């Protein structure tokens, strides 16, 4: 079945709600409007306003109330309307959601999914284009995932809702309208990375919105690029990355988030630790710059582009 | 200004309003108050002896906690802050369970479902939202139970608490917000938190706020019972402001003499919640002296139990704690667990 990423997410939510009456959706504008990106379109009509709840505008309350519902045995899926709006809920996520299982020595489950449309490239105003993933990856107790295609959007949503751990589900908003085939089976687990395209010269590692950019770079590159889609940012599945690096000896890590202490820093460290004798060149990073997300008229100079990825590929070849 | 303060038992032990409590109820309150105070004083002493890293004393707030805690039904659920030792007592937790957090052997460590008592929130006001979510859950399930959340006057300045008020009103959630107004958020006095009585704020959110003498166990029980009954029958949330006073420090780490007039504490000592019930019982209950002797002996036993248990609380095994970070242990954490084990 061919679906856009947005429609695949909608289908994933619908399937999870059909499967389990304890799955409840909450967020601002997700009911009658269907969400500002229409990801929850039609769900309130079909499941009622008790299972698809339009909430007051208060991010900390959306997440905090979901914690209370989890205490009561529900499996809430909440929407944070935009990435930059997650910070009012940051305390609840980091201090409550992520820690309750640990503090209760396993007695309290928080099977909560926090959906966040994230990333740039849509010409938005301030606070609508952020990539906050590292803030959550550095918080033990949270699972952080992001699909890059329609198949993963559908299946990873279902897997995230089925997980007994809290999941930060980052939806690459720039790709909501990209279409792709959704297969009949998940294929791999929520926490597994995958080889998106095989190659032999340079390993390019990305996730979420930049996977498409990496694949476009691989189309244009003279060298043979192997593209890895991480899918899960926490926990990381580095097996396919390490296998690839051991063959290619060259790595480019790509993400939209700012460079310093971004996920690329962790990946470069781990690759250096585990593949030191295979490396032919230092790990290169293509990232957003260390500035607040810029005015959108210049966002395409800020975001990783095919050209910048190819340039980094060239740099790895100079060693 | 504004709302009156409900009172049943005056500071001098005189009944100033009608009540439905039996003589046995009154004895039960007395026992709870004495034992709760002993839990608190023993823990305080254990901290002074270096057995606890910290303690948050509740001296002076026993009536607010026992009065409300004893109004709860078994199926009700409590989202507490970190000073609700007497409420925990009412929910049936072994007080030794409270010590782990302050000794550093656990971060809570009980099953909230077993007691209807959540893990304490240390971040001010965070738990009020959890209560609202739980209450919405009760409504969705069609249950006629209630949820209570405890917080202090300082928490009423927090965004989360105000969001919780707005949400509870919006969803007509069966939540009782129980504010122990003990007049200080560490050193910051009530006057810096609010220009109006706390209970009065509820009106602005669209639900009822009531003020009660927080050192009057009978009035607190009555007011809380009414709020719970209202919540269970679909009447929505209530904000109870129990006007009380923290006789001691915020925690064992601070020094109230730096920020409080000593005469203020003296005035509140005259309103001691234990004394006023004792005065009533001494006057009206012929067998009270004998009953009280048994309660004091029970308190001594409880104190000894706490001292014994505290010193013998086992340190957790750091490697085993990895089991509780995620439902399924990721390979990276397996590796880190082995790293920990390699050092032991």
Convert the pLDDT of each residue in A296-317 to its tens digit: 999 999 999 999 999 999 999 9
Q: Is A161 on the interface with B (CB under 8 A)?
A: no
Are B176 and B148 contacting, i.e. CB atoms less than 8 angstroms apart? Answer: yes
Based on the residue annotation, tell me whether B250 is a catalytic residue of this protein: yes
Q: For residue A64, give the nearest of B126, B326, B333 by CB distance.
A: B126
Choose among A50, A104, A106: nearest Cβ to B119.
A104
Do the Cβ atoms of A101 and B325 come within 8 Å? Answer: yes
Contacts of A124 (CB under 8 A, 6+ apart): A82, A296
Q: To the nearest 5 percent, what fractions of chain B are helix, strand and coil? A: 50, 10, 35
Cα–Cα distance, A251 to A281 (Å, whole number): 8
**B221-253 burial string, b = 16+ CB within 10 Å, else e?**
bbbbbbbbebbbeeebbbbbbbbbbbbbbbbbe
How far is residue A106 CA from its own chain's centroid?
26
Distance in Å, alpha carbon of B42 to nearest chain A alpha carbon: 25
Q: Does the annotation mark B91 as catalytic?
A: no
B307 by Cβ neighbours in 10 Å (0-12 / 13-18 / 19+) ranks as middle
Shortest CA gap A129–chain B (Å): 25
Determine whether the interchain pair A71/B106 forms a contact, defined as Cβ–Cβ distance below 8 Å: no
With CA atoms as reference, report the closest residue to A92 among B333, B173, B321, B161: B161
| B119/B107 Cα distance (integer angstroms) | 8
* C-alpha closest to that of A169 among A97, A112, A249, A230: A112
Regions in chain B scoring below 70 on pLDDT: 1
Is residue A235 reached through a cis peptide bond, with omega within 30 degrees of 0 on the bond before it?
A: yes
Residues 6+ away with beta carbon under 8 Å from B125: B151, B155, B158, B159, B160, B161, B164
* Number of other residues whose CB lies within 10 A of the CB of residue A164: 14
Q: Which of A17, A68, A78 best tests the B interface by mutation, with the highest count of B CBs <10 A?
A: A68
Q: Are strands B147-152 and B175-181 parallel, antiparallel or unpaired?
A: parallel
**Contact with chain B for residue A291, Cβ under 8 A:** no
Question: How many residues would you count in chain A?
Answer: 319
Task: Residue B147: list chain A partners with CB under 8 A.
Answer: 68
DSSP B107: S
- A229 - beta bridge partners? A194, A206
Choose the closest CB to A60 out of B77, B131, B163.
B163
What pLDDT does A303 receive?
Answer: 98
Pairing of strands A179-181, A2-4: antiparallel
List of chain A residues whose C-beta atoms are within 8 Å of the C-beta of residue B134: 68-69, 71-72
Q: Which of residues 239-278 of A touch B (CB under 8 A)?
A: none
Structure tokens at B245: 């006073």
pLDDT band at A138 (very low <50, low <70, confident <90, very high): very high
Q: Do B136 and A107 touch (CB under 8 A)?
A: no
B246 in active site: yes
- Tell me the average pLDDT across A177-200: 98
How far is it, in rounded angstroms, from Cα A234 to Cα A133? 9
Residue B328: list chain A partners with CB under 8 A. 165
Contact across the interface for B130 and A56, Cβ inside 8 Å:
no
Instruction: Determine the Cα–Cα distance for residues A203 and A251; give it in Å rounded to an integer.
Output: 5
pLDDT band at A17 (very low <50, low <70, confident <90, very high): very high
Question: How far is the CA of B171 from the CAs of B133, B207, B240, in angstroms?
Answer: 10, 11, 19
List chain A residues with CB under 8 Å of B123.
91, 95-96
Q: Which residues of B touch A72 (CB under 8 A)?
A: 133-134, 137-138, 141
Pseudo-torsion of CA B293, B298, B303, B307, nearest 10°?
Answer: 140
Would you place residue A36 in the very low, low, confident or very high pLDDT band (cuts 50, 70, 90)?
Answer: very high
- CA closest to A109 among chain B residues: B327
Residue B167 CA, chain-centre distance (Å), reads 22
Q: Which burial class, exposed, middle or buried, applies to A304 when counting CB atoms under 10 A from its CB (0-12, 13-18, 19+)?
A: buried
Whether residue B233 lies within 8 A of chain A, CB to CB, comes out as: no
Residue B3, pLDDT score: 87
Q: Which of B132, B140, B326 sits opposite A50 (nearest CB)?
A: B140
Give the distance, in angstroms, between the CA of residue A186 and the centroid of all CA atoms in the same chain. 17
Q: CB of A286 within 8 Å of any CB in chain B?
A: no
pLDDT digits (tens, 9 = 90+) for A87-110: 999 999 999 999 999 999 999 999
| CB within 8 Å: A58 and B326 | no
* CA gap B196, B193 in Å, rounded: 9
Taking only the tens place, the pLDDT of each residue in B160-199 is 999 999 999 999 999 999 999 999 999 999 999 999 999 9
Nearest residue on chain A to B322, alpha-carbon basis: A102
Query: b/e map of A50-85 (b: 16 or more CB within 10 Å)?
Result: ebbbbbeebbbbbbbbbbbbbbbebbbbbbbbbbbb
Q: How far is CA A166 from the centre of its chain?
A: 14
Which strand (E) or helix (H) includes residue B83? none
What pLDDT was estimated at residue B344? 83
What order of strands is seen across the sheet that includes strand A251-258? Answer: A194-197, A225-229, A202-206, A251-258, A284-288
User: What pLDDT, on the 0 to 100 scale, is given for residue B53?
Assistant: 95
B315 interfaces chain A, CB cutoff of 8 Å: no
Residue A303 touches chain B, beta carbons under 8 Å: no
What pLDDT score was predicted for residue A301?
A: 97
- Lay out the sheet containing A52-54: strands in order across: A52-54, A23-27, A75-79, A113-118, A167-172, A143-145, A232-234
From B232, B259, B260, B307, the catalytic residue: B259
Distance of CA B338 to the CA centre of its chain: 40
Partners of B326 on chain A (C-beta within 8 Å) are 101, 141, 143, 165, 235
Flag if B328 and A105 touch (Cβ within 8 Å).
no
Give me the interface pTM, i.e. the ipTM: 0.94
- Interchain contact, A61 vs B160, CB within 8 Å: yes
Q: Quick check: A282 contacting B, CB < 8 Å? A: no
Q: Does A57 touch chain B (CB under 8 A)?
A: no
Q: Which residues of B touch A76 (CB under 8 A)?
A: 133
- Catalytic sites of A, residue numbers: 128
A56 contact residues in B (CB cutoff 8 A) = 163, 166-167, 170
Exposure on the CB side of residue A155, measured as CA atoms within 13 A: 20
Among B129, B162, B317, B339, most A C-beta atoms within 10 A, so best to mutate, is B129
Task: Judge whether A16 and A154 are in contact, CB under 8 Å.
Answer: no
Backbone angles phi, psi at B34, to 5 degrees: -65, -45
Q: Which of A58, A60, A101 sits opposite B324 (nearest CB)?
A: A101
Locate the chain A residue with the closest alpha carbon to B149: A68
The residue of B326, B334, B335 whose CB has the most chain A CBs within 10 angstroms, and thus the best one to mutate to test that interface, is B326
């Amino acid at each position: 079945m061919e679906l856009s990423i947005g429609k695949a997410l909608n289908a994933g939510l619908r399937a999870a709600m059909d499967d389990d009456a304890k799955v409840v959706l909450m967020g601002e504008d997700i009911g009658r409007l269907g969400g500002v990106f229409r990801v929850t379109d039609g769900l309130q009509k079909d499941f009622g306003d008790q299972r698809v709840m339009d909430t007051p505008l208060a991010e900390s309350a959306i997440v905090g109330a979901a914690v209370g519902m989890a205490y009561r045995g529900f499996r809430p899926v909440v929407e944070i309307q935009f990435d930059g709006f997650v910070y009012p809920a940051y305390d609840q996520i980091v201090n409550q959601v992520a820690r309750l299982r640990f503090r209760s020595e396993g007695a309290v489950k928080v099977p909560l999914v926090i959906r966040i449309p994230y990333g740039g490239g849509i010409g938005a105003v301030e606070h609508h284009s952020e990539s906050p993933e590292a803030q959550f990856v550095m918080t033990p107790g949270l699972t952080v995932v992001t699909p890059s295609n329609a198949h993963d959007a559908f299946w990873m949503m279902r897997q995230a809702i089925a997980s007994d751990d809290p999941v930060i589900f980052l939806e690459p908003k720039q790709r909501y309208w990209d279409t792709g085939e959704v297969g009949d089976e998940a294929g791999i687990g929520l926490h597994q990375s995958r080889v998106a395209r095989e190659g032999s010269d340079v390993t390019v590692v990305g996730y979420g919105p930049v996977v498409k950019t990496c694949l476009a770079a691989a189309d244009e590159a003279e060298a043979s690029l192997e593209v890895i889609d991480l899918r899960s940012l926490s926990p990381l599945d580095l097996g396919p990355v390490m296998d690839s690096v051991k063959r290619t000896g060259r790595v480019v890590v790509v993400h939209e988030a700012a460079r310093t202490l971004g996920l690329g820093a962790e990946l470069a460290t781990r690759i250096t630790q585990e593949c030191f004798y295979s490396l032919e060149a230092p790990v290169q990073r293509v990232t957003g710059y260390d500035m607040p997300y810029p005015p959108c008229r210049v966002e395409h100079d800020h975001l990783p582009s095919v050209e910048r990825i190819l340039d980094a590929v060239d740099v790895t070849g100079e060693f | 200004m504004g709302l009156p303060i409900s009172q049943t038992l005056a500071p001098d032990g005189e009944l100033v309003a009608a009540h439905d409590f039996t003589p046995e109820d009154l004895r039960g309150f007395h026992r709870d108050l004495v034992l709760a105070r002993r839990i608190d004083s023993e823990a305080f002493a254990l901290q002074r002896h270096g057995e606890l890293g910290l303690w948050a004393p509740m001296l002076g707030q026993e009536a607010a906690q026992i009065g409300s805690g004893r109004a709860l039904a078994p199926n009700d659920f409590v989202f507490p802050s970190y000073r609700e030792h007497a409420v925990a007592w009412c929910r049936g937790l072994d007080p030794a369970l409270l010590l782990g957090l302050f000794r550093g052997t656990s971060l809570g460590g009980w099953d909230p479902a077993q007691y209807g008592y959540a893990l304490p929130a240390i971040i001010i006001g965070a738990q009020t939202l959890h209560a609202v979510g739980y209450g919405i859950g009760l409504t969705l399930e069609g249950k006629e139970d209630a949820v209570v959340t405890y917080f202090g006057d300082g928490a009423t300045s927090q965004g989360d608490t105000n969001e919780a008020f707005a949400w509870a009103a919006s969803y007509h959630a069966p939540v009782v917000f129980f504010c122990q107004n003990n007049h200080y958020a560490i050193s910051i006095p009530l006057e810096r938190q609010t220009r109006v009585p706390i209970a009065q704020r509820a009106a602005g959110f669209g639900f009822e706020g009531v003020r009660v003498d927080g050192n009057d166990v009978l009035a607190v029980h009555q007011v809380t019972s009414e709020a719970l009954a209202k919540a269970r029958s679909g009447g929505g949330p209530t904000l109870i402001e129990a006007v009380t006073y923290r006789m001691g420090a915020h925690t064992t780490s601070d020094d109230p003499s730096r920020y409080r007039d000593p005469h203020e504490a003296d005035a509140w000592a005259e309103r001691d919640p234990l004394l006023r019930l004792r005065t009533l019982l001494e006057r009206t209950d012929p067998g009270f002296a004998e009953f009280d002797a048994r309660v004091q002996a029970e308190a001594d036993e409880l104190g000894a139990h706490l001292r014994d248990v505290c010193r013998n609380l086992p340190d957790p095994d750091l490697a085993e704690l990895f089991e509780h970070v995620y439902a399924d242990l990721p390979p990276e954490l397996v590796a880190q667990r082995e790293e920990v084990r390699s050092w032991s």
